[in-house]
Amino acid sequence: MKNDIEFNGRRTFCWALFVRQDIYPQRFLKGTDGGKVEYNWRHRLRGETMERIAWVTDSTGTLDEELSLNEHVYVVPMIVIIDGKEYEDGVDLSPEELYRRMSEEKKNATTSQPSVGRFQELYKELEKRYDRIIAVHLSSELSGTVSASRQAAQMVTIPVDIFDTLLISFPMLLIMKRLMHYIDNGHSINEAFVKTRIYADNHETYVLIGSLDQLHRSGRLTNAQYILGSLLSFKPIISIENGLLHTKSKPRNLNKAEKQIFTDFRRSVEAGKVKECTILYGAVSEQAQRWKKMISAEFPHVLTHVSPLGSAIGVHTGEQTIGLSWFNED
């Protein structure tokens, strides 16, 4: 069943998860045919009504094949502003075009969260075909996206549950997948949120910032940190803790920084806590693939995702950025 809708004149792709207080379907991929996904369903009877859930996220996370092929995950684009003109992240501005303009044309760029009106318009459209919305967003400490989504939720009649991941990019989408997993397996919304919060809070994310200039201009690096890093040629490792960016350490070169990140990752893997990890990168895809080969060779049992950073993140970090993120699971 194809349920595409027109949103602000553009087709929005999505997928629908059907949940009942009485029926909890178990979905699994059967095969693909021209981009369409077939499902088998296992039902467990518990009540009377079927609740249809739409999933909403923002464009700081780049959808992988699984989420792209599923119909009813809605992506609200972040806004990138270049020379006073607004572009929608992933819609009319790609990371490649952003980096080219910033490098060749020396253009400065800023970002903005989607407006309350944008969320409200989408949520009102979703009211026509769903019973509930679950929205999963990047950290409220780094963006006003969660706030905009919450304000829009108060303007519609459909229930909207919002999960503040306190993360960014593809790890945010892994959190959404974890929520889906718990709901698929019969947990209530509240139970799924509690269990997923524990999962999300046990992450480690370390990023080598490609451009101190851009991070400083965005206000996410203090003047003192910027001047010291520039003068001493530091390669700062930025961590995400409680939704905020922190300078974990300041290695003097790229090799030392990379070694430190892999030392921390190795510690977690050897403790038996890591099942999957994500390599995040700007425009350094070759380096990202090299990291993946290193991880696969040493830890073949760890599933390794490789995901590019979207334009809205690239504005602040630069094209040479690369990082590693994982969740510590018991």
Asked whether residue 111 carries a pLDDT value surpassing 50, the answer given is yes
Lowest mean pLDDT among 36-40, 95-99, 241-245: 36-40
How many whole angstroms separate alpha carbon 118 and alpha carbon 7? 9
Which two three-digit tokens encode residue 276? 């999957």
Percent pLDDT > 90 in the chain is 59
> Tell me, what's the pLDDT at 12?
43
How far apart are the C-alpha atoms of 32 and 65, rounded to whole Å? Answer: 11
Q: Which two tokens stand for residue 29?
A: 């991929």
Mean pLDDT of 27-35: 30
Secondary structure of residue 192 in the 3-state scheme: helix
Q: Tell me what pLDDT residue 28 has.
A: 27
Can you give the pLDDT at residue 297? 97
Name the residue with higher pLDDT: 123 or 18: 123
Q: Is the pLDDT of residue 280 over 80?
A: yes
pLDDT of residue 317: 84
Average pLDDT of the segment spanning 96-110: 84
Count the helix, strand and coil residues of the chain and give each as a percent rounded to the nearest 5: 35, 30, 35
At 307, the pLDDT band (50, 70, 90 cuts) reads very high
pLDDT average, residue stretch 78-93? 92
Average pLDDT, the chain: 81
Q: Once rounded to an integer, what is the mean pLDDT over residues 308-330?
A: 91
* Residue 10 clears pLDDT 80, i.e. is over it: no
CB 204 within 8 A of CB 302: no
Residue 275 has pLDDT above 90, yes or no: yes
Non-local CB neighbours of 320 within 8 Å, separated by 6+ positions? 210, 211, 282, 283, 284
Can you say how many angstroms the Cα of residue 143 is from the centroid of all Cα atoms in its chain? Answer: 13
pLDDT at residue 29 is higher than 50 = no
Residue 42 has pLDDT above 60, yes or no: no
Mode of pairing for the β-strands spanning 203-208 and 322-327:
antiparallel
The tens digit of pLDDT for each residue in 158-204 reads: 999 999 999 999 999 999 999 999 998 989 999 999 999 999 999 99
* Angle, helices 285-298/254-270, rounded to nearest 10 degrees: 40
User: In whole angstroms, what is the distance from residue 2 CA to residue 72 CA?
Assistant: 9
Q: What is the mean pLDDT of residues 139-151?
A: 96
Q: Which helix (H) or strand (E) holds 73?
A: strand 73-76
Sheet bearing 276-281, strands edge to edge:
244-249, 237-241, 203-208, 322-327, 276-281, 303-308
Nearest to 162 by CA among 193, 195, 208: 193
Give me the pLDDT at residue 69, please. 85
Say what the pLDDT of residue 316 is: 84
